[in-house]
Amino acid sequence: MATKTAWGGRFEQELDAGAARFLESVSFDKRLAEEDIAGSLAHADMLASIGVLTEPDVAAIRRGLGAIRAEIRAGTFAWDAAKEDVHMNIESSLTAREGDVGARLHTGRSRNDQVATDMRLWARDACARVGRSLDRLALTLVTRADDEVDTLLPAYTHIQRAQPNRLAHHLMAWVEMFDRDHGRLHDCAMRMNESPLGSGAVCATTFPLDRALTANLLGFARPTRNSVDATADRDFLLELLAALAIASVHLSRIAEELVWWSTMEFGFIEMADAHATGSSMMPQKKNPDVAEVVRGKAGRVIGDLVALLVVLKGLPLGYNRDLQEDKAPVFDAVDTVRDAAEVLADAIGALSFRRDRMRAALGAGYVTATEVADWLAARGVPFRHAHEVAGRLVGRAIAKQCELAQLSLDEFREEHPTFDESIYTALDPETAVERRDIVGGPARKQVRAALADARARLEGRGAALARTVSATP
């Protein structure tokens, strides 16, 4: 069987049904309906301003597109795959409702600049939506950190206990990652904020379009500067996907720590029942599945970036139908990162910190060994020599199966005569943390300042703890 193509005139044969199914994009690009209608309304106003359309024409277009938008929002609009894409579905429906004025609306534009405009509008909004979800997660972390300023635990390098730390300081490290993610999305939105509308298929149009007017009506900063580039490139989507891939890696790293911390071996946290699952065989299990799936979905988002990179890498200028494949990875990555940020905010907001287990972990692993070296260095011993002395003392403690603070003062002095009783104060984890009183350090004063600064930044951007999304649109 064959399918009537949306484009007559040139073709004598109808489009093969299999080819039509393969080529259609309306099944996924219908998600651009709101943006497509907004672009058409701006285009209609501009055409009227240059005398191509009359005011009655614009009134009919507004009436028809308003009815179509209402049906789409209500879920009653009849999408037709034979019309290929969201643009032709809306245009043909408008023409059916309002007559030839619907056909005149396409004067001076192509589906090429139309879809490029739609995608910039959608992606610009997506940057803001994902940014809000990341900010909600960051504010959740700040709120939890506020309650844990006095909770101590080991910091880790190489997954080995390293130095004493404040839990709040650790949580604030996560906040910093998301602040940069938000910044990348903001920068991306600023760079993509140019209007391709009026670029036509590839070399603009003979009609005297007012591109600055449509750019302004759609909230763009300016029109794009080159019609070939405007319709043929999708680097603004690559930049968005790169920002989302980095954010997904950050989400995954946090999820990894939550998985580790929820094990019996660590026991630093307990996930709320609402964010854990059981085993179909082992009744004792409480699995941190939310964190695990967040971790797993990072691979998907990274794959979305790679997919679009590969689509674009061999394309000549200008527009090629391959660009139809830009939408699925972008839609998927935006949905995935936003959903992951929201569910992780919920899970972190509800979990319990095991302060006793965190504090107990400071009692093994020689986490204050650096304090020994610093103590000596502060008294004139070259740090590399002091480091060696501290290492020998750790060796003594290992041999005796005790901690550094359990060595006698004589044992300390056997390694270096400078030691006195004050070394034991330096070995206290609380003292060790408080002595790191520099910008970016874990001392209480510095952490409090970091919390206040982060909260001010987040709340200044409108961040709130209330859930910003209930389901993927």
Q: Which residues are catalytic?
A: 158, 279
CA dist., res. 218 & res. 52, Å (int): 20
